[in-house]
Amino acid sequence: MSSGGEGMRRALRACMISLVLASLLFVRTTEAARWLWLGPLFGLTLASPWLLRLARFVSVRLLWNLSVLGTFALLVRHVTYAGVAFLLEDGLLLAALCQVHLVNNLSDAQKPDLLFFNSFLIAVVTSFLSLDLGYSLVLLVYAPLLVVSMQLLALSRAGVEGTPSLVPAIVRSGLVRSAGVLALTLALFLVVPRDFGRRGLLGETLGLKAPGALEVAFSDRIDLEQSGQVTQSSRIVMTARSSDGSAPPLYWRGAALDVFDGQGWRAARGVHQDAAWCGGRGLWTRTLPSAGRTMDVYLVDPDAPRLFTPLDARRLELRSPDVDAAPQPDGNFRRILTGQRRPVRYTVEMAKPATPGGRRDPAGVGVHIALDARAVPQEAYDLRHELKRGIAPGAPQHVVAERFRSAIAARFPYLVPGASGGARSLAEFLRGGAGAHCEYFATALAVTLRLEGIPCRVVTGYRSDETNAQDGLLTVRAQHAHAWVEVLDPEAGWMTLDATPAGAGGAVQARGFLDSVRQTAERIWAAVAGFNTEARETLFAWFGALPGRIARSPGDAALFSVALALVVVAGRLRRRRREEPHGRAYRKALRRLKLELGPTETPRELLARARRTAYPAEGLRELEVATAVHEQARYVG
């Protein structure tokens, strides 16, 4: 065998090993397997060139097969006691093991096909479990690797004895090809119509939930230890506009939660906490002084379980027919969901901001300071002690509450829900280091305040400052879902207190260039992973509006023309490098004339040939012109 053939085989083998490494990385991104498991697999894969050499010893083969069987048995055992929940994870680990087994055992003839399929399967399965940036990076490595491997395999199967320069050429062409395929894939991914809400046969029978379906949205309870992927959705939940053009309030309440059980918050049952709502049939009021301004609310989300209201609401009137709601003890309105899913319009009249002695809690403060000692982690006590330091004893309640709030906001880092590295329990959060989202901040504040004896509750709803400067329209999106704290002030009644760091509604501020790159990449990948009907419509609308925008805005127009010019220049450069344009025009003429230029034939020779074969005069003239034009362009000047 020539050295060229050997080079090709070596390149193919290197690609196989890299594919297995990519598969292992895929598994790693899901965090389904610990390093304890994956580490040896990585090692075995990297060592496979040496292991293959050892494989001719029977004892080594025996040992290998026994250990594969042993690992398999361990996995089966794990499934039996860990339950079906871990089936997918264990399956993945098994697939990874198979990959390593394949690369170490099978011959070159049968190995590649199985490796390709198995690696693709792993990519698919891991896509269900892992949606973060890491997955996308591995995918970006995996796709070109797969294409290059397939090309190498095709060549080596064709029996090609390559020259030394062949392998780099194949790798180059594979990279270009995979980039093209990936770009086309992404473009089609954005435009192909499909049912984003499809549950599928298995989904319906087993109640599976699609990955990425869990989005940040309002919830009428808080479960701190809930984990998994959550996406930020820009789906619009509601809009609100003030009757007098002033900016609508930022906080829109959905539920007030009083009972903390260590893992989360839920509503206390049967305790009226607020001035009660009176009325019915679409109109409710409570006895508070009017502020004279009204909000027109349009609740777009047809499935919203609540009618969201600001804290200072005194009158609510439903504008949509066939809709009903029920006031809750916590002062909020539960929507009575009928079969018809449709948006709801209602108006809310605002009360004067809390006036001293205005709203009293009818049920006393007991329920607002109650804490189950078993539910409170030690870290909460420590935190309270620390926060109390520096506050003069006997300071007014609102001063203490505000100091606690600002201290907590400054002390813990904010992370968007579902971000990797976030805290998974209140204790972990309070220890510091791991950041978390608003629910943790609200919980931390509420628990420390209650330890201090200050009555408070956690409220969930939406907080949006997306107010249009021109018409004062407030837009509330799913990603604006929020949790905060309300403190019962003995003087002023319920006061809003938000411990979540300012500006945390969206992303945290990027620190440095790399961070911002990472954040941008994460945002793009989140947009891909969480792509849905609405995102597609937004995209289409954006593209549809592009011409108009370009026409209207000189800045955009300039940007667009610069981009267009760059594309044109790049195309020109590319063409010049290939020196093809004249050739292309000439070949086009040949195609039209149904003539074929031999590989070593010059245009003049072809012309002479055409003359000899009595080619029709008209075509001949055209050929003459094409030849002359080509000559002028190619050889003159």
Partner 1 sequence: MARVVDVKEAGQEIRRRLGEVLVLPESVVEPVLVALLAKGHVLIEGIPGTGKTLLARTIAKLVGLEFKRIQFTNDLMPSDILGSSVWRPGREEFDFVKGPLFTNVVLADEINRTSPRTLSCLLEAMENGHVSVEGNPVTLADPFFVLATRNPIEFHGTYPVPEAALDRFLVRVTMTYPAADGELRLYLGRDPEAVLAETAPVITADALRGLMEGAHRARVSEPVARYAYQVVAATREDEAIALGLSPRAALAWLRAARARAFLDGRDYVLPDDLKALAGPALAHRLVLKGGGDAGALLERVLKSVPVEL
Partner 2 sequence: MSLRPTGLGVRTALFFFLLVAAFFAAPYANLFFLLLLFLTILGAFDLLAARANLAGASGRVEEIQPMPAGAGGAGLAVVAAGRRRWAVAVEVELEGALGTLRAALGLAEGEAKLALPVPPLPRGLYRVRAARIASTWPLGLWKARRAIAAPAEVVVYPAPLALATSRGAGGGVGELYDMLGSAHGFLQPSELREYRPGDELRLVHWKASARRGTLVIKEWEGGTGSGHEVVLDLRATGEELEEGLSAVSALAHAAKEQKEVLTVHSQGLSATFGGSHRPWRELFRFLAAASPLPEGGPPPPPVSPAVLRLPRRKGAA
Interface with partner 2 (CB under 8 A) = 4, 113, 116-117, 120, 123-124, 127-128, 131, 135, 143, 147, 150-151, 153-155, 157-163, 166, 169, 173-174, 177, 180-182, 184-186, 188-189, 192, 194-203, 208-213, 528-531, 596, 598-600
Residue 358: HSE in the Cβ half-sphere, 13 Å Cα cutoff: 20
The distance of closest approach from Cβ of residue 200 to partner 2 in the complex, given in angstroms and rounded to an integer, is 5
Considering only residues 119 through 148, tell me which ones interact with partner 1, judged by CB under 8 A: none
Q: Per rule CB under 8 A, is residue 597 in the interface with partner 1? A: yes
Which residues face 222 on adjacent strands? 265
Taking the least distance from each CB to partner 1, the nearer of 401 and 606 is: 606
Q: How far is CA 454 from CA 179, 261, 262, 265, 495, in A?
A: 60, 18, 18, 17, 12
Q: In what order do the strands lie in the sheet with 236-242?
A: 278-280, 283-285, 313-318, 344-351, 290-299, 236-242, 473-477
- Looking up tokens 């097969």 gives 65
Q: How far apart are CA 216 and CA 60, in angstroms?
A: 53
The stretch near partner 1 (CB under 8 A) out of 27-35, 113-121, 258-266, 595-603 is 595-603
Q: How far apart are CA 360 and CA 543, in angstroms?
A: 54
Enter the tokens of residue 619: 């075509």
The distance of closest approach from Cβ of residue 550 to partner 2 in the complex, given in angstroms and rounded to an integer, is 30
Q: In what order do the strands lie in the sheet with 456-463?
A: 251-257, 456-463, 481-489, 493-497
Residue choice 9, 177, 582, 609 for contact with partner 1 (CB under 8 A): 582
Q: Per rule CB under 8 A, is residue 631 in the interface with partner 1? A: yes
Taking the least distance from each CB to partner 2, the nearer of 140 and 566 is: 140
- Looking up tokens 């049967």 gives 270
Partner whose binding site includes residue 393, from partner 2, partner 1, none (CB under 5 to 8 Å by kind)? none
Buried b (16+ CB within 10 A) or exposed e, 346-379: bbbbbbeebeeebbebeeeeeebbeeeeeebbeb
The stretch near partner 1 (CB under 8 A) out of 60-68, 309-317, 415-423, 593-601 is 593-601
Give residue 458's identity as a one-letter amino acid code. V
Residues that contact partner 1, how many (by CB under 8 A): 20
Taking the least distance from each CB to partner 2, the nearer of 57 and 540 is: 540
Taking the least distance from each CB to partner 1, the nearer of 389 and 594 is: 594
Residue choice 481, 493, 586, 610 for contact with partner 1 (CB under 8 A): 586
The distance of closest approach from Cβ of residue 583 to partner 1 in the complex, given in angstroms and rounded to an integer, is 3
Q: Per rule CB under 8 A, is residue 59 in the interface with partner 1? A: no
Partner whose binding site includes residue 212, from partner 2, partner 1, none (CB under 5 to 8 Å by kind)? partner 2
Considering only residues 598 through 617, tell me which ones interact with partner 1, judged by CB under 8 A: 599-605
3-state secondary structure of 417: coil
Taking the least distance from each CB to partner 1, the nearer of 490 and 583 is: 583
Enter the tokens of residue 48: 């496979």
Which residues lie closer than 8 Å to 267 by C-beta, 6 or more apart? 220, 221, 255, 256, 257, 258, 259, 328, 329, 330
CA-based radius of gyration for the chain: 34
Q: How many CB atoms lie within 10 A of CB 228?
A: 11
The distance of closest approach from Cβ of residue 609 to partner 1 in the complex, given in angstroms and rounded to an integer, is 13
Partner whose binding site includes residue 296, from partner 1, partner 2, none (CB under 5 to 8 Å by kind)? none
Partner whose binding site includes residue 602, from partner 1, partner 2, none (CB under 5 to 8 Å by kind)? partner 1
Taking the least distance from each CB to partner 2, the nearer of 10 and 319 is: 10
Partner whose binding site includes residue 635, from partner 1, partner 2, none (CB under 5 to 8 Å by kind)? partner 1
Show the beta-strand stretches assigned E in 197-267.
222-223, 236-242, 251-257, 259-260, 264-266
The distance of closest approach from Cβ of residue 191 to partner 2 in the complex, given in angstroms and rounded to an integer, is 11
Furthest C-alpha separation in the chain: 113
Which residues lie closer than 8 Å to 33 by C-beta, 6 or more apart? 27, 89, 92, 93, 96
Taking the least distance from each CB to partner 1, the nearer of 199 and 634 is: 634
Taking the least distance from each CB to partner 2, the nearer of 232 and 496 is: 232
Taking the least distance from each CB to partner 1, the nearer of 81 and 635 is: 635
Considering only residues 550 through 579, tell me which ones interact with partner 1, judged by CB under 8 A: 579
Q: Element (H or E) spanning 326, and its range?
A: strand 324-327
Taking the least distance from each CB to partner 1, the nearer of 537 and 605 is: 605
The distance of closest approach from Cβ of residue 594 to partner 1 in the complex, given in angstroms and rounded to an integer, is 18
The distance of closest approach from Cβ of residue 616 to partner 1 in the complex, given in angstroms and rounded to an integer, is 23
- Contact residues toward partner 1 (CB under 8 A) are 579-580, 582-583, 586-587, 597, 599-605, 630-631, 634-637
